[in-house]
Structure 1
Amino acid sequence: VNDSGEQSFTITLPTNKGIIASRLNLTQEHFSRILHELSEKGLIVVEGRRIHIRDVDALRTYDL
Structure 2
Amino acid sequence: LPAEPAKTAHFCSMCGPKFCSMKISQSITEQFGGTAAAGASAEEVAEGMLQKSREFAAAGNRVYLPLAD
Q: Same fold (TM over 0.5)?
A: no
Pick the structure with more strand per residue: 1
TM, length-normalised to structure 2: 0.28
The structure with the largest helix share of the pair is 2
Q: Higher Cα Rg: structure 1 or 2?
A: 2
- What TM-score do you get using the length of structure 1 for normalisation? 0.30
Q: Name the structure, 1 or 2, with higher relative contact order (CA <8 Å, separation 6+).
A: 1
